[in-house]
Structure 1
Amino acid sequence: MISIKYFGAVAEATKRPSENLELKSSSLEDVLKELHLKYNLKNIPVKLALNQEIINSTEGVQVKKNDELAVLPPFAGG
């Protein structure tokens, strides 16, 4: 099981600030696909942080039990 935290527009779309998810796959790409299907997030650009480190590409990234995934809205510069 992994812990997922949602922020900003993503939290609004999911109607929750966080949840725990049973792993059906250890691939971060598969976890993201599952979340997109569950919450229809395809229209919301997101950044991801796995265990508090920003992930620039999901390709080849594996998640494991007790990992924490943060799904963040785009960052604004200024």
Structure 2
Amino acid sequence: MIDKNGGKFIFLSGKISQTDEVSATIVLETGQKLILPKRFLPQNYISGFPVKISLDLSKDGIVPTEEKKADAKSFLNSLLQTYE
């Protein structure tokens, strides 16, 4: 979805399967796993319960390391196609 300011947003739903101090692994409804920084999660999340997340793809910070950006961009583009 593209908003009026040109930002690309994607809305995901799934279940949080694992968390550590800084990140969370989410199993999406499509069966794909996505690892995100905890700042993208709702404040009152509970592991194992459904969660809905909106990501602004036009902002940096979704993928922390340079070498993972190409893989993540490809993955997020495939998610965009899946959910459009």
TM-score by length of 2: 0.24
Query: Greater relative contact order: 1 or 2 (C-alpha under 8 angstroms, separation 6 or more)?
Result: 1
Larger Rg: 2
Question: Which has the larger share of strand?
Answer: 2
